[in-house]
């Protein structure tokens, strides 16, 4: 397995829309395995393929304390949303930035698993927020897009300065 390079905002590649996976073959399984290793090493609780510059509808999530319960979502689609809740979010592509975001409190998601089996799951709380956050990445949307223009511009300037200082 390999650690993949995570793109950082304001990299324009984060705005690309992911394409559906047509066949779950060894290359997709290798991508999932590499994404899990990258997410755990980062460390994070979710990672979308677009964050590692792969425009495929693939997401990995693991909110367990011991990192033993990976959830693989291929071609995911949220089919139901209920209620709203505001919680603080962060992102591996926008490091060290945490802001409150309002999302659906409960969701139903339809997806293919690691072996290509159709699945449907209900999620709430942290898992629901994480799924919504990662699925946004597949459409080129970042959690900071839910913030005011002023906050978003401050974050962009901070991230650009950080990139200049580390170059």
Active-site position among 77, 86, 88, 134? 134
What was the pLDDT predicted at 165? 87
Q: Are 10 and 160 in contact (CB under 8 A)?
A: yes
Give per-residue pLDDT as tens, 48-75.
999 999 999 999 999 999 999 999 999 9
Parent domain of 133 = 12-166
**60 in any annotated domain:** yes
**3 in any annotated domain:** no
> How are strands ordered across the β-sheet holding 118-124?
46-48, 58-61, 71-91, 94-112, 118-124
Q: Indicate if 134 belongs to the active site.
A: yes
Give per-residue pLDDT as tens, 109-152.
999 999 999 999 999 999 999 999 999 999 999 999 999 999 99
Q: Is 91 annotated to bind ligand?
A: yes
Residue 103 has pLDDT above 80, yes or no: yes
Query: For the domain that residue 126 is a member of, what is the CATH number?
Result: 3.90.45.10
**82 in any annotated domain:** yes
**85 in any annotated domain:** yes
**How far is it, in rounded angstroms, from Cα 102 to Cα 129?**
9
**29 in any annotated domain:** yes
**61 in any annotated domain:** yes
**Burial tier of 40 (Cβ tally within 10 Å: 0-12, 13-18, 19+):** middle
Provide the whole-model pTM.
0.96
Residue 1 has pLDDT above 80, yes or no: no
**2 in any annotated domain:** no
Domain count of the fold of the chain: 1
């Amino acid at each position: 397995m390999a650690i993949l390079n995570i793109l950082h905002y304001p990299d324009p590649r984060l705005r690309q829309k992911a394409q559906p996976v047509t066949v779950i073959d060894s290359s997709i399984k290798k991508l999932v395995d590499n994404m899990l290793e990258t997410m755990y090493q980062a460390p994070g609780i979710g990672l979308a393929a677009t964050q590692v510059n792969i425009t495929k509808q693939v997401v990995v999530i693991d909110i367990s304390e011991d990192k033993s319960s990976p959830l693989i979502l291929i071609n995911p689609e949220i089919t139901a949303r209920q209620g709203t809740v505001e919680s603080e979010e962060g992102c591996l592509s926008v490091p060290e930035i945490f802001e409150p975001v309002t999302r659906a409190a409960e969701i139903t998601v339809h997806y293919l698993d690691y072996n290509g089996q159709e699945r449907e799951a209900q999620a709430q709380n942290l898992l629901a927020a994480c799924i919504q956050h990662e699925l946004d990445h597949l459409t080129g949307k970042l959690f900071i897009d839910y913030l005011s223009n002023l906050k978003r511009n401050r974050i962009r300037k901070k991230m650009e300065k950080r990139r200049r200082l580390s170059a």
